[in-house]
Structure formats: structure tokens, C-alpha cells
Amino acid sequence: MTIQFIIVMNRQGRTRLAKWYDLYSNKEKSLITGQVHKLISTRDTKHQSNFVEFQGNKLVYRRYAGLFFIVSIAIHDSELAYLELLHFMVEILDLYFENVCELDLVFNFYKVYAILDELYLAGEIQETSRDKVLQRLAYLDKLD
């Protein structure tokens, strides 16, 4: 499994989105979320890398405004590729929600899950064409 989970949380540690690709119990999920916040929020954004080892895997993260976008990947996977994948995801969210903000993710949480399913499935990268993803999302919105 390449991606174990993707978490979007604000600086206070409030989870805005969590997608788990590995099997975790609810208890483990909340435990991990707490540990991840503690680990990431204390890191120096200026002088430290965007990668940190975590429970035998690696966290790759990036902060956008008040939100941390965090992905956990296997130890041998490419950090930079997933760092850019986070950026790619944020771009998609930004274009889809037209200037995405934290509240968009809150009020449209079910939409965000649908968007993630276009990008990643089974913890693996699926589609990497921005145009294709956006076209697909626009098409799905019309289906209602």
C-alpha cells in the first residue's frame, strides 16, 4: 500500500478530512490523528523538511493557509512525488470550490470524499490529469 491515509487538519488539530486506506479501528484513527498533529504542528516550517518518519511510514505534509495537508506513505516511496501530489490535490480543490477555504471542506465533506475517489483509490494514485478530473467532477455534478 502506498498511501495509508490522508488527513487534512487545521493548526488546532481539528480534522477537516480524513481518508483511511489501511484498516484502522476508530480508536487507532483518533490516536493517530492526535499524534500526527503533535508531530507536524511543532515542526519548523522554515528550516525543516516536509517529511518526517512516523510509525514505520513517512508523513509528507504541506501547509496551505491554516490547513495542514498530510499524507502517510510507505518508507521507500518518493517524498517529492507525494508532496506534489498534495499540491495537485489542493489545486483541484481550489479550482472546484473556486478559492477553497476551510469551510468548504466542512460543509461539503461528502463532495470532498468523491473528489478523493477520482484522485486516489485503494491507496494508490489514479488520475493525474487536472483537466480530466475537473471535467469528470463537473459532469458528475450535472447528473443529479
Partner 1 sequence: MPAQMKGLSQFIADIRNAKAYDEERKRIAVELDNIRRKFQDTKLLGYQKKKYVAKLLYIHILGYTTVHDFWLGASMDLARSATFSEKQMGYLSFSLFLESSNALETILPVLEDLWGDNVDFTTLALQYVATGVADGSAVLEAVYGFLRSPTTVPLVRRNASAALLRIFRDNPELLLANCRSWVPRLVAVLDDADLGVSTSAVSLVSFIVEELPELCENLLPLATRKLSKVVLDPSYVKDEYLYYDIPAPWLSVKLLGLIERYIQYLHFVEGEIDLPSLATLREVVHQTINRSSSPLAGLQSKNAQSAVLFACISLLGYLDPSPEALASATDALLLLLDSPETNTRYLTLDALIKLTSRGGKVAQENTSKQLSVILHLLEDKDISVRRKALDLIYTLTSAATVETVVEHLTKYFHTADYTLRPELAVKIAVLCENFATDAVWYVTTMLRLISVAGTHVSREIWERIIQILVNNLSLQLLAARMVVKYLRDKALSETMTKVGAFVLGEFGHLILDQADEDANLIEGMTAKRCTARVQFDLLYHKYFYCAPNTRAIILSAFLKMYKRHEDLRPLVLDFYELELNSIDIEIQTRAMEYLRVVTLNDDTKHLDLIVGEMPVFVNKVNPLMAGVGTIAQLNAPVSHLRGFGRNRSSSSVLMSHGNGSTGLVFQGAGGLVLQSSEASTIRRPSFAARNGSSASSPGPEPKKPVLSPNWQEGYFRSLHFDQGILYENTLLRITYRITKKNHVLGFQLTYKNKTTHADITGLTATLRSGTSTTQPAYVIELVTAPSSDIAQSEKTDHRFNVVLRSTGLSNVEQPTLLLSFMCGAFTSLKVKLPVLLLRALTAAPLAYSNFLTRWAQVGAMGASGEAVLQFKTSLAYPTISLRRILARMGFAIIDETEYQQPEDVSQELILGTGILHTLQGNFGVLMFLEARAEGREFTLRIRCTAPDVALILAETIVSLLEFGA
Note the residues at the interface with partner 1 (CB under 8 A). Answer: 1-2, 15, 18, 23, 25-26, 30, 44, 47-52, 74-81, 83-85, 87-88, 96-98, 106-111, 113-114, 117, 121-122, 124-132, 136, 140-141, 143-144
Nearer to partner 1, 35 or 129 (CB): 129
CA distance 82 to 6: 11
In angstroms, what CA-CA distances link 51 with 22, 60, 73, 81?
20, 5, 10, 12
Cβ at position 106, least distance to partner 1 in Å: 6
Report, in angstroms and rounded to the nearest whole number, the Rg of the chain calculated over CA atoms. 15
Nearer to partner 1, 55 or 78 (CB): 78
- Single out the residue of 88, 119, 92 nearest to residue 105, CA to CA: 92
Cβ at position 36, least distance to partner 1 in Å: 15
Cβ at position 80, least distance to partner 1 in Å: 4
Cβ at position 2, least distance to partner 1 in Å: 7
Nearer to partner 1, 1 or 65 (CB): 1
Cβ at position 76, least distance to partner 1 in Å: 3
The total number of residues written for the chain in this structure? 144
- Asked if residues 70 and 38 have their Cβ atoms less than 8 Å apart, the reply is no
Q: How big, in percent rounded to 5, are the helix, strand and coil portions of the chain?
A: 45, 25, 30
